[in-house]
Amino acid sequence: MGFLSNRRRRDQEDVQDPDVELDEDTDADADQPGGSGRGWFAGARATAARARGTAGPWPSKGAVASKSFLALALAAMACGPAALALAATGSNTTPVATSTPAAGSEEQARTTVESVSVQLVHALLTADRDHADHLKDLVAEPPGQLDLPAKAGQPPTSITVDTLTRGRAHRWTATLTSLGGQSGDGQTWQVTIDYNPATGRARAVRLPAQIATPDPQKVPVTTTTSVSMNDPAAVAGAGYITALLTGATDLSRWTSPGSSATAISPAACSKVTAETAETTGTGDPPTPGDGQHLDLVISVTCTLPGSDNQADNARSLQYPLTLASRGGRWEVAATTPTTAPSASPTTTPSDTPS
């Protein structure tokens, strides 16, 4: 009992350590973000002393926590007032949840492939002769002899993914533009990437290939052919778009098996009028035979909700569609996004090998 009494008495004396007593001026100084070094340092000692005083005579969960906090507070004193404040409040901080693409999803694949593409182009433009081996490690099929400048050039200020196309066997092709630095007004690159959905990892097949930057004044014009709105392909395309925009509960009548397409809810249009249909082929679409594909562009007029007057409240829309034939009829197999390009616009996935 005498031992316990002496132990408690020593703990009480530690709590009342005169070295950590603060007068009102010093305490006020410690509370100010811009206070003097003496003020926040004294405040740190007081905080540590209060934490030390919560410990009991025998080790316990509370004592261990107090000692941990004391160590944190003492370490924070060396880093300044901001670190001290963080030490005092960090134990009550709630982690912020972050959203990440689901493993094996299309979104994860695109995000990973884009990231690897940008990193590879940046590595190529900033590598020198001494880092040839590092650059080789980034690609699966490097050249037998890799030549690089003796001195690395000025890095680009930005690298963006312009298009991203998926081919067969999870092979992707990315087109990128680098600006600034040694890229000047712009350089265009093409990178082939293999993606492994089982591991969520991607690796470049070869080094980037520099290609000609498209001239906006020389955009190739695609020749199209008008298709009668009574043609089975146009009927299928128009029916799908009408169901999509008017909030139909089931699109399976118009789509290929396995399609995940869903109607817009609430309905985007109170009425849809199909105006024209065009195809890149010549002549009318053939009679559908199983396995055939057809690219079609349907133009429609959407009467916006809340008005039956099409002339005063209408909007024109265009939908590029890929139709597939099955059982003697055309079905919508895929749609091409028609929204405005984002920071990293991508193209519709295709089955064309890279």
Regarding whether 245 and 183 lie in a shared domain, the answer is no
User: Is the pLDDT at 180 greater than 60, yes or no?
Assistant: yes
Residue 285 has a pLDDT of: 66
Q: What is the pLDDT of residues 87-118, one digit of tens each?
A: 444 444 344 333 445 555 778 888 999 999 99
**Domain end call among 42, 61, 92:** 92
Regarding whether 168 and 132 lie in a shared domain, the answer is yes
| C-beta separation of 77 from 43 below 8 A | no
Regarding whether 324 and 233 lie in a shared domain, the answer is yes
Q: How far apart (Å, rounded) are the C-alpha atoms in residues 141 and 135?
A: 11
Regarding whether 111 and 212 lie in a shared domain, the answer is yes
In a domain, 343, yes or no: no
In a domain, 137, yes or no: yes
In a domain, 349, yes or no: no
Regarding whether 206 and 229 lie in a shared domain, the answer is no
Regarding whether 162 and 140 lie in a shared domain, the answer is yes
| % of the chain surpassing 90 pLDDT | 27
| C-beta separation of 160 from 183 below 8 A | no
**Local confidence band at 155 (pLDDT 50, 70, 90 cut-offs):** very high
The count of structural domains within the chain is: 3
Regarding whether 172 and 121 lie in a shared domain, the answer is yes
**Domain end call among 57, 92, 127:** 92
- List the CATH number of the domain containing 182: 3.10.450.540
| C-beta separation of 118 from 161 below 8 A | yes
Burial class (CB in 10 A: 0-12, 13-18, 19+), 259: middle
**Domain end call among 218, 243, 260:** 218
In a domain, 289, yes or no: yes
Residue type, 328: G
**Residue 304 or residue 192, greater confidence:** 192
In a domain, 345, yes or no: no
| Owning domain of residue 242 | 225-335
In a domain, 264, yes or no: yes
Regarding whether 154 and 111 lie in a shared domain, the answer is yes
Which of 130-144, 148-162, 328-342 is the least confident region? Answer: 328-342
Residue 103 has a pLDDT of: 56
pTM of the model: 0.42
Task: Write down the residue that tokens 């009548």 correspond to.
Answer: 253
In a domain, 58, yes or no: yes
Regarding whether 316 and 277 lie in a shared domain, the answer is yes
Both tokens of 36, joined, read 């003097």
Regarding whether 128 and 74 lie in a shared domain, the answer is no
Regarding whether 285 and 189 lie in a shared domain, the answer is no
Residue type, 8: R
Q: How far apart (Å, rounded) are the C-alpha atoms in residues 123 and 118?
A: 9
**Local confidence band at 26 (pLDDT 50, 70, 90 cut-offs):** very low
- List the CATH number of the domain containing 302: 3.10.450
275 Cβ contact partners less than 8 Å away, ≥ 6 residues apart: 299, 300, 301, 316
Regarding whether 240 and 208 lie in a shared domain, the answer is no
In a domain, 100, yes or no: no
Both tokens of 114, joined, read 């884009």
